[in-house]
A and B are shown apart, each in its own frame.
Chain A
Amino acid sequence: MKRMLLTGNGAAAWGARLAATDYIPAFPITPQTEIIEALANWIDNGAMNARLVTLESEHSMITAAGAAAATGVRVFSATSSQGLLYAMEMLYTVSGWRAPFVLTNVSRGLAAPITLESDHTDVMAARDSGFLQIHCATCQEVLDSTLIAYRLAEDARVRLPVIVNLDGFYLSFTREPVQLPDQQIAKEFVGRYDAENIRFRASAPVSQAVAVLGGSPYSYFRYETHLAAQNALLVYDEVAAEFNQRFGRQHNAIEEYRSDDADILFVMMGSFATKAKEAVDLLRDSGQAVGLLRPRLIRPFPTQSFQHLLGGKKGIAVIDQNLSMGMGGVLHAELSSALYGHANAPATLVSFIGGLGGRDISSEEFFEMAAVTRRAVDEGVTPAPRLLYNETELREIRKLQAVAQSEREELHNSADKPSGEQQ
């Protein structure tokens, strides 16, 4: 086992390599491209025995991934933001085929306006697709989760594709020390892909996408997929335990950080959760019993674990790096639904929206979120959802709008002049 500096993208590529992936349909998009470049390079110089094919779009890429997985080979692919959305039709379709493979998503905010930086609105859009979702907070987790994801996807009790999510920039382009598993041990852990009855072959027509007219068979197939996704909770725990046994790193479905004796908890996902850890340490230094829960598994949603871990806590600050227009933070809504009516559930669940489009969240903001949540607990009144956005930021926007307005007027005036007409 070698410890080396790797970017999140590098770690994702190593995950695919160590899992002995056979086939990689690819389409480049910032900030994912390095993953494909690394894999292409390894295949080119003989370090990796796989086939990489560039497709003309992400829609075709996911179709190719699903079709290849249906032949019984091990498939890896990667995308981000607009690419994930472009593939959306096929995400739902290939999960319905029950074709297992691993898709890395490098999270990036969605257009419009277009951005390159990270938030989770892209991957949340795939929430109901039938893909399972593992969210990473470190480069190490990206590599480890990729290996775990293959076991999860290919398990006979699950057999669904899995998205491994990492944040653009904050992980994708950031190097951190990563323990590189030994190739042989990784191979043993992931094991051989037993495709069971999946035997899609040339000249042997099989329809992967039967039409069912009538709600009854449709309901059967869709609900079976849901049950398989739910099975993944148990399977994930088993696989994570075995991973820990082999590699000495435990990746629970929900990461707990100084949460046992905490009365106030942050709940958030992704790499910004490590910032929350930093804030938790500082809050603890000042004598405040604050902790953090970070779900790695978003699909299936670890409902019972949350009920257990949050039972008896006073106040929860849910920080969503995503936004469902007209509703708010997705994690806040899901957590509320998981806790509703559950005995011992915390009465105060405060919603914060932060880090959209890679906007930073400062330590001071974590302190203030803890303070707001504590105040809500004391007063028994939950405040309205809060966007993390400050006076300076609004002033900057107003300045830009003023510039835009005056430029527009200037252009308008100069456009009017030649004609000499009055409005």
Chain B
Amino acid sequence: MYRIRFHGRGGQGMKTASRILGTAFFLEGYEVQDAPRYGAERRGAPIFAYVRADHAAINERGIIQHPDLVIVADDSLVPVAGAGVVTGIDAHTVLLINSDEPPELWKQRLNFAGQVFTLPVETEDRAELRFIGATCSGAAARLLGVITRASLSQAITEELQALGDAVVDKNLAKALTAYDLMEAHRGCVGTSSKVSATDYQNPAWVNLPFDDARIAAPAIHAAATSVQVNTGLWRTLRPVIDYELCNKCWWICSSFCPDGAIDVDDKGVPHIDYDHCKGCMVCVAQCPPHAIASVPEQEAQAQDAAGEVT
């Protein structure tokens, strides 16, 4: 059985990517199971999706603990513990990362013995990121080695046809380019061996102790604890205010911000709380003098690091 996990951010198309790959497997005659996994999060939050494919009926369910192939659409997720990108990977796992940094560096960083491939981030145009799902599924299809170009193309057409021919064509082009890019590594993904029912790791169950209700009731005893959750990590685009252009109307950006992440000081100047701004870009769309720019988060962070932005 192939066990594949896609990691990305809400809005980057990981559910679609998993469906494209699932449908492609299905067209190749495989039994398939594909599913996205998400909670109550919004755009930008870490999400993952998974695909299982086998020639026999699939009885496994739920989260894949030991993946054969992990695809990461957004390399900024790798260090985010909650994203669980590296959970359960071992030397047999193949890692495919959408990153400008070389595979060797990722192997070193993650102290990872398996194979790493990167999808070069070919464009500075963030609008192109909307195709990253198709790109990932195309590259994954080639690494797996059992999916033909024809099946991949048909899968993309089936999954995206409701969005119109132009969208299908663009995604096809992206996916097939990524498919060809991985030609040299085709078939490098193997399948993991079965667990043994005789020599297995004991699940180490514990007897749950009684705790006093003061401790065991699921209550939050203080206000404003959501401040502790750094949702700024979800951001792929950063709104940056150009104070030269800002006309200090004081209420529009701050009122439209769905997360209350824009504060206006007593001089009427808005300030964005980047620890909690999720990068929805509603403020960018609403600002009357167009004083808020949309800067790719990675670029903004590089500028931060270089001390260009205070």
Show the binding face of A for B, using Cβ within 8 Å.
5, 7, 112-113, 116, 169-170, 173-177, 271-272, 274-275, 277-279, 281-283, 285-286, 288, 358, 360, 362-365, 367-368, 386-392, 394, 401, 404, 407-408, 411
Show the binding face of B for A, using Cβ within 8 Å.
19, 22-23, 26, 31-37, 39-40, 58-63, 65, 194-198, 200-206, 208, 215, 218, 221-222, 225, 228
Q: Is the CB of A286 within 8 A of B196?
A: yes
* A5-B222 CB under 8 A given contacts A175-B19, A364-B195, A364-B203: no
Q: Is the CB of B60 within 8 A of A286?
A: no
Q: Is the CB of A407 within 8 A of B228?
A: yes
A177 to B58, CA, bound (A): 10
A283 to B195, CA, bound (A): 10
Q: Shortest Cβ distance from B195 into chain A, in angstroms?
A: 5
Q: Please list the 8 inter-chain residue pairs (A to B) with the smallest Cβ-Cβ separation, ordered nearest first.
A: A113-B218, A174-B35, A278-B59, A286-B197, A274-B59, A282-B197, A286-B198, A277-B59
A281 to B19, CA, bound (A): 28
Question: Interface centre among B58, B203, B208, by most A CB within 10 Å?
Answer: B203
* A407-B200 CB under 8 A given contacts A174-B35, A275-B59, A362-B65: no
Task: Pick the contact of B60: A169, A275, A386 (CB < 8 A).
Answer: A275
Q: Is the CB of B202 within 8 A of A5?
A: no
A387 to B206, CA, bound (A): 8
Residues in B neighbouring A285, C-beta threshold 8 A: 194, 197
* A367-B37 CB under 8 A given contacts A275-B59, A390-B204: no
Task: Pick the contact of B37: A169, A277, A408 (CB < 8 A).
Answer: A169
Residues in B neighbouring A390, C-beta threshold 8 A: 203-206
Q: Is the CB of A176 within 8 A of B32?
A: yes
Residues in A neighbouring B225, C-beta threshold 8 A: 407
A364 to B66, CA, bound (A): 14
Residues in B neighbouring A404, C-beta threshold 8 A: 221
A173 to B205, CA, bound (A): 29
Q: Is the CB of A394 within 8 A of B206?
A: yes
Task: Pick the contact of A177: B31, B35, B204, B205 (CB < 8 A).
Answer: B31
Task: Pick the contact of A169: B35, B65, B208, B222 (CB < 8 A).
Answer: B35
Closest to A282 in B: B197
Closest to A366 in B: B197
Closest to B65 in A: A362
A364 to B197, CA, bound (A): 7
